[in-house]
Amino acid sequence: MNSWSPEALVQKSQEARDLAYCPYSKFRVGAAVLTSDGTVFTGCNVENASYPLALCAERTAISKAVSEGHRSFKAIAIASDLEDRVISPCGACRQFMREFGSQWDVYLSKSDGSYKLMTVEELLPCSFGPDDLRKGISSAGNSKL
């Protein structure tokens, strides 16, 4: 991971967690995504009084990276205040991560900094991604479905 260790990436996700805006759930989440060139972008969850408009930490971090021109990722670390188990991304975040590949690392951490390593593919097996759309379009631009 270039000069970034998994522990350092988890630490950055914990720092992002501390910035979470979660007045309703009180469930703080932070994420730190490592791009292929070694840049790290962080994000936290941002809740909204209209609950469906809330943003997850993972999507916030990835969106920040994409908005700065990054499309290739090596790893993401996710942190919360859970002590007895690792934090796991929601289904929407798993699909969002999958958009950028299935073979990058995901560090699911506990509040003490310990973590479990998985890949996007392990979190979202048999996934649907960009390549599936390319296969489903005919030369005329119509779906083969």
DSSP string across 8-62: HHHHHHHHHHTT-B-TTT---EEEEEEETTS-EEEEE-B--SSGGG-B-HHHHHH
Bridge-based pairing of strands 115-119 and 40-44 is: unpaired
CA contacts within 13 A on the Cβ side of 85? 3
Quick check: is 58 catalytic? Answer: yes
Looking at 7, 15, 47, 58, which residue is catalytic?
Answer: 58
Residues tagged active-site: 58
